[in-house]
């Protein structure tokens, strides 16, 4: 039995969900971003308890197929952008999403846009910019290193996109960086 869980966006989220399951005697086969797999089906009572306990931590168990697809898309994107040291892509995000979700990409794109109010491409841009902010705050890499790390064609492309989204240049952001980052589940 697979259960889709909304707002699982990082390794800490996986740890919290795993701990909640253990606290209630539920043993998952696998816990990954946005998804918990059990060997056997949960009873209705167990499912209700799980929904309640996860909601207390800001997670939501998804019952709707469309919502599950959207959450899976978000988790794929977040995993690629925030989950690795380099996002140098040899393939398009659309190819990666289509490979990992066995549904036609046009359908995925359509329900994502309709439900979220932004396109998958816009969501990817928001995630990349949030990662740029994170790396600027750490102040360990130059802007050209950040551009390379996140798969931008050049620093100018990164700077232009950054300013369009934030209203600030990357260098100005570094000067006024306090309280400019958002948590991933808020994007």
50-102 pLDDT, tens digit per residue, is 889 899 999 988 877 888 899 899 989 988 888 766 655 556 889 889 999 98
Q: How confident is the model at residue 106 (pLDDT cuts 50, 70, 90)?
A: very high
User: Considering the chain, what is the average pLDDT of its residues?
Assistant: 87
Residue 127 has pLDDT above 60, yes or no: yes
Length of the chain: 187
Q: How confident is the model at residue 132 (pLDDT cuts 50, 70, 90)?
A: very high
Give how far the C-alpha of residue 95 lies from the chain's centroid of Cα atoms, to the nearest Å: 17
Residues 32 and 77 placed together within one structural domain of the fold: no
Residues 90 and 168 placed together within one structural domain of the fold: yes
Residues 71 and 145 placed together within one structural domain of the fold: yes
**Domain range for 74:** 64-187
Q: Report d(CA 158, CA 153) in Å as an integer.
A: 8
Residues 120 and 35 placed together within one structural domain of the fold: no
At which of 46, 62, 78 does a domain end? 62
- Rounding to the nearest 10 degrees, give the CA dihedral for residues 14, 16, 19, 23: -140
Q: What is the pLDDT of residue 35?
A: 87
Q: What is the pLDDT of residue 85?
A: 66
Residues 185 and 131 placed together within one structural domain of the fold: yes
Residues 70 and 45 placed together within one structural domain of the fold: no
Count up the domains in the chain and report the number: 2
Residues 159 and 183 placed together within one structural domain of the fold: yes
Q: What is the pTM of this model?
A: 0.72
Between CA 68 and CA 74, with CA 71 as vertex, the angle to 5 degrees is 155
User: What's the order of all strands across the beta sheet hosting 60-62?
Assistant: 30-32, 35-37, 2-6, 60-62
Q: Which residues of 69-79 are buried (b: 16+ CB within 10 A; e: fewer)?
A: bbbbbbbbbbb
Residues 19 and 42 placed together within one structural domain of the fold: yes
Mean pLDDT of the region 28-42: 88
Residue 187 has pLDDT above 70, yes or no: no
At which of 29, 62, 95 does a domain end? 62
Residues 104 and 58 placed together within one structural domain of the fold: no
CATH code where residue 49 lies: 3.30.70.100
Mean pLDDT of the region 173-180: 71
């Amino acid at each position: 039995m697979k259960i889709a869980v909304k707002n699982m966006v990082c390794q800490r989220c996986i740890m919290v969900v795993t701990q909640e399951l253990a606290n209630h005697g539920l043993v998952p086969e696998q816990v990954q971003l946005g998804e918990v797999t059990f060997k056997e089906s949960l009873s209705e009572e167990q499912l209700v308890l799980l929904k309640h306990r996860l909601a207390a931590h800001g997670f939501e168990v998804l019952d709707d197929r469309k919502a599950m697809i959207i959450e899976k898309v978000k988790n794929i994107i977040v995993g690629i952008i925030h989950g690795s040291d380099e996002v140098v892509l040899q393939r398009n995000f659309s190819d990666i999403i289509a490979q990992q979700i066995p549904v036609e990409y046009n359908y995925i794109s359509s329900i994502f846009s309709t439900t979220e109010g932004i396109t998958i491409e816009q969501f990817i841009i928001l995630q990349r910019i949030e990662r740029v902010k994170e790396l600027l705050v750490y102040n360990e890499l130059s802007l050209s290193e950040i551009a390379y790390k996140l798969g931008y064609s050049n620093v100018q492309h990164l700077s232009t996109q950054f300013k369009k989204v934030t209203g600030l240049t990357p260098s100005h952001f570094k000067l006024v960086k306090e309280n400019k980052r958002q948590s991933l589940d808020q994007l």
